[in-house]
Amino acid sequence: MMISKFVLPLPAFLFISMMLIGIQSRAQSAVPEPNSQSDIVLITASDYAFDAPKEVASGWTTFEYKNEGNEPHFLFLTRMPEDVTFDEYAGDALVPFNAVWYALRDEGINTEEVYERLGAQMPDWFWTLEFTGGAGLISAGRTTDVTLNLEPGIYAMECYMKTEDGELHSMEGMLRELVVSDTPSEAAAPEADIAITLSNFEMAIDGNLSPGNHTVSVHVAENPEEGYGHNVHVARLTEDTDAQEVAEWMNWFDVNGLQNPSPVIFAGGMQLLPEGGTGYFSLDMEPGRYLFYSEYTGHLGVFQEVTVE
């Protein structure tokens, strides 16, 4: 099969053709690890807003991300370059970026034109933004804990899922500033019982994928030379859904991609991390089939299907 290694260097994108790799994992006894954090930052998602504090401590910080909306949401954190304000990010980067989405949706411009317009319209600093993790997709009514080691600075928190009408959640209100202060938290990294390592278009999962609560570490050992790197979303597959269907739904270039309703239940994950970075997320699993999917590299087959017995 043809495998394109050209990855659009942007959040939100991609994934056209893919390979299916099925890995069966035998269930063992559950080994839940207690969360060692004492200061947990609550962030609530609704359709379409974040209820969140304006400022959090730097260092290891745990976010309890609760989806009180009726649609799937995620939490994507981006650290602004030193001389860029949040308002400049929202106005100079996201407005033209989203205009390209509307051209894709309403005028049907092709992929080449998407690249051309973005290349012409985005400010130079856009291509140097640092993505600093965040919660993967969670379905309505679910909660996930995400622990990140954050540098002080100005961050944008956003969700760029799409409504049934193809409106971006970020444009509907799921975009706001988060200040990470110079004051460090006293927290340490949590203990994980499942470890995911992502490196240069490969995903390794270690640990017992058993029913119950888990703390999952995600380590990005090496980012691919092209594109933005790796993230992970965990989806519960049903009898009627398979990995291919989820992958197609997560293709940003598809007009219906990432659009409510989702074909599966999403249980959390980790957004793009800097190279060498590690983050943690909680994962509650019941018996069934699950897909661990690296969305930005999905077209290169970076995913695993596992069975929790």
- Cα-based distances in Å from 270 to 121, 138, 267, 297: 29, 11, 11, 14
Q: Which of 80, 146, 148, 159 binds Cu ion (CB under 5 A)?
A: 159
Per CB under 5 A, does 169 bind Cu ion? Answer: yes
Instruction: Please say which residue, 156 or 300, places its beta carbon nearer to Cu ion.
Output: 156
> Nearest distance from residue 161's CB to Cu ion, in Å?
4
Q: Are 301 and 21 in contact (CB under 8 A)?
A: yes
> Nearest distance from residue 42's CB to Cu ion, in Å?
17
- Give Cβ neighbours of residue 288 (< 8 Å, ≥ 6 apart): 236, 237, 238, 307, 308
> Nearest distance from residue 251's CB to Cu ion, in Å?
17
**Residue from 109, 125, 106 nearest 117 by CA:** 109
The whole-angstrom separation of Cα 98 and Cα 183 is 34
Stretch touching Cu ion by CB under 5 A, among 82-90, 163-171, 217-225, 262-270: 163-171
The whole-angstrom separation of Cα 245 and Cα 184 is 42
The whole-angstrom separation of Cα 113 and Cα 276 is 33
> Nearest distance from residue 182's CB to Cu ion, in Å?
30
Position closest to Cu ion via CB = 159
**Residue from 53, 55, 38 nearest 182 by CA:** 55
Token pair listed for 239: 């009898």
Instruction: Please say which residue, 261 or 276, places its beta carbon nearer to Cu ion.
Output: 261
Instruction: Please say which residue, 102 or 115, places its beta carbon nearer to Cu ion.
Output: 102
> Nearest distance from residue 12's CB to Cu ion, in Å?
12
Stretch touching Cu ion by CB under 5 A, among 29-37, 53-61, 168-176, 235-243: 168-176
- Give Cβ neighbours of residue 84 (< 8 Å, ≥ 6 apart): 125, 154
Query: Which residue is associated with the tokens 């930052």?
Result: 41
Report CA 158 to chain centroid distance, whole Å. 10
Size of the residue set binding Cu ion (CB under 5 A) = 5
Query: Bridge partners of 139?
Result: none
The whole-angstrom separation of Cα 188 and Cα 184 is 11
Please, which of residues 43-72 interact with Cu ion by CB under 5 A? none
> Nearest distance from residue 127's CB to Cu ion, in Å?
25
Q: Is 26 helix (H, G, I), strand (E, B) or coil?
A: coil
> Nearest distance from residue 174's CB to Cu ion, in Å?
5
- Residue type, position 104, single letter: L
The whole-angstrom separation of Cα 70 and Cα 98 is 23
> Nearest distance from residue 3's CB to Cu ion, in Å?
30
Write the binding mask 232 to 271 for Cu ion: x where contact by CB under 5 A, - elsewhere: ----------------------------------------
Q: Are 9 and 224 in contact (CB under 8 A)?
A: no
Residues of the shown chain interacting with Cu ion in the complex, contacts defined by CB under 5 A: 73, 159, 161, 169, 174
